[in-house]
Structure 1
Amino acid sequence: MFEHYFQCPYCWEEVSMLLDPSISQQTYVEDCEVCCNPIEVTPQFQENELVGFDVQSIEQ
């Protein structure tokens, strides 16, 4: 696991998230630690290195 920093698509604050490089491609929903809105997170790993990272707001 390692920590990755990014900007929340709702509140624009910089937040951090722990990512698991043991799964090469994954998509899941996690709440922003600042504004609590749900964020769809899609990290991509290759040989335990982060090669892609995307976050999307989930319209409610």
Structure 2
Amino acid sequence: KTTTIGKLAKKLQLEGKKVMLAAGDTFRAAAVEQLQVWGERNKIPVIAQHTGADSASVIFDAV
């Protein structure tokens, strides 16, 4: 799922849209790291917090 999100973000970016990723899966540490890798690869900003953080707070920060 995280890989699909990364690929969709790149597709939207290539269509000229502004893209930002928010790491809402805060309980699986690898998910945040994986999303950050996709963000770095595609030069897309990633909003994330520490492992175990409240998912709603991540989304709030992203909005």
Q: Mark yes or no: TM-score above 0.5.
A: no
Which is strand-richer, 1 or 2? Answer: 1
TM-score by length of 1: 0.27
Which is helix-richer, 1 or 2? Answer: 2
TM-score by length of 2: 0.27
Question: Which structure exhibits the higher relative contact order, with contacts defined as CA atoms closer than 8 Å and separated by 6 or more residues?
Answer: 2
